[in-house]
Amino acid sequence: MSSTMSEKILARASGKNKVEAGDIIIANIDIAMTHDLTGPLAVESFEKIGAEKVWDPSKIVIPFDHQIPADSIDSANNHIIMRNFVKKQNIEHFYDVNAGVCHQILPELGHVVPGEVIVGADSHTCTHGALGAFSTGIGSTDMAMVFAEGNLWFKVPETNRFEITGDLKDNVYAKDVILNIIGQVGADGSTYKACEFAGQTVNDMTVSDRMVLCNMAIEMGGKTGLVEADKKTIDYVEKRSNKPYKIFKTDLDAPSLNIIDVDVTDLEPQVACPNHVDNVKPVSEVDREIDQVFLGSCTNGRISDLRDAARILKGKEVAKGTRMLVIPASKEVYSKALDEGLIRIFIDAGALVSAPCCGPCLGGHTGIIGPGEVSLSTSNRNFKGRQGSPEGEVYLSSAAVAAASAIEGRIVVPE
């Protein structure tokens, strides 16, 4: 019987010839990631169950990215807990405060290859499915068991495959595509399902664009986001990793597969309005003054996003009364932006450029908003209180919309 990509990857990981949607399996984990915010609870739980050694220190990746540099005694304590754990367990892949956002540096530094099962103590771990892996977020206590045993139970998910067709118009990007899809299916439209992104539009996208799609699969309830590996994937992976990999593809007659057609030919720039990611409208229908623009995060803090924003901002200035915060997603992205002169463009426009980190995305550090303030963000969530005060408002958009809006001081369509 035919199978989906997720079923094939999970069958490999569980040592079975075949698994089907709904099966409960124990899967071996290829990569486990936790960071400075979720890591301390995982370490505490690891010690509580009496575990002494992690199953494989070469398969654990620990980046610091959420509250860096430490902004409080509590966050400094968390950093100490994790540094001590790294030292005690001889964790090979530890990235301190200067590396960047976890979901950017894992693929960038060669930790992700097709066919793997990847878990992270962060809900946007689904990003890594853009490279043909089964990648999903788990809780910190589940991560403690992964640290100890190297495996975890899963219910094999059904699959929603989004067949995306049509050429994108100027100033319409992958972020607009995924916001539009979430707006159509709703925040619970893919609950505990694998979200595959396919079709000619996806084939034409860069790996970075595909990461945007997979990153926000969780915002429609998805268990993971996936794109089948192709030549672009292989080129990306083989420049960064020497790990073996295996490419899996979905059989289009698989029983657990649901195909959803999406035509983006006439798609306009989109914005998710407060306080739900599925409250999506065309930018042309939204007229809102803004106090802050945030360009960054694991969704849209890559070099392509910085280039898109710089192209619009060059020779212009951020509007008076509006502040703009630019945070590259990694050290590599920051370095490229420096080499290409993008940082100078942002500074000359009046933006504040910060070191790679999660920034205001989680509302915990660097650039949170106050009561009554309005933020336009290239990140992935706009829940009440997500970027600071519960009395503030968060809108989500592409980098191009963010840059154009920063110039005008209100949400606008890029020219």
Q: Strands, E, within 209-251: which ranges?
A: 224-226
The amino acid sitting at 204 is: D
The 3-state DSSP class for residue 27 equals strand
For residue 341, pLDDT beyond 80: yes
Q: Looking at 85-94, 267-276, 309-318, 362-371, which range is the least confident one? A: 362-371
- What pLDDT, on a 0 to 100 scale, did the predictor assign at position 366? 85
Report d(CA 413, CA 407) in Å as an integer: 11
Report d(CA 34, CA 23) in Å as an integer: 27
- What pLDDT, on a 0 to 100 scale, did the predictor assign at position 415? 85
For residue 365, pLDDT beyond 80: no
Q: What average pLDDT does the segment 65-85 reach?
A: 95
For residue 1, pLDDT beyond 90: no
pLDDT category at 297 given cuts 50, 70, 90 is very high
**DSSP letters for 338-386:** HHTTHHHHHHHHTPEE--SS-GGGGSSSSS-B-TT-EEEESSS---TTT
- What pLDDT, on a 0 to 100 scale, did the predictor assign at position 21? 98
Q: What average pLDDT does the segment 20-41 reach?
A: 97
Number of neighbouring beta carbons within 10 Å of residue 15? 10
**Which contacts qualify for 170-174: CB closer than 8 Å, 24 or more apart?**
171/269, 171/398, 171/400, 171/401, 171/413, 171/414, 172/264, 172/267, 172/268, 172/269, 172/398, 173/209, 173/212, 173/308, 173/398, 173/399, 173/400, 174/205, 174/209, 174/210, 174/212, 174/213
- pLDDT > 70 fraction of the chain, expressed in percent and rounded: 100
- pLDDT > 90 fraction of the chain, expressed in percent and rounded: 97
Buried b / exposed e over 27-60, threshold 16 CB at 10 Å, is bbbbbbbbbbbbbbbbbebbeeeebeebbeeebb
Number of neighbouring beta carbons within 10 Å of residue 328? 30
**Which contacts qualify for 359-363: CB closer than 8 Å, 24 or more apart?**
359/294, 359/296, 359/297, 359/325, 359/327, 360/292, 360/294, 360/325, 360/387, 360/388, 361/294, 361/296, 361/297, 361/298, 361/386, 361/387, 362/37, 362/66, 362/386, 362/387, 363/387, 363/388
Report d(CA 61, CA 92) in Å as an integer: 8
pLDDT category at 186 given cuts 50, 70, 90 is very high
Q: What average pLDDT does the segment 340-353 reach?
A: 98
pLDDT in tens, 196-212: 999 999 999 999 999 99
- Closest alpha carbon to 226 in 144, 304, 308, 115: 115
Report d(CA 135, CA 126) in Å as an integer: 5
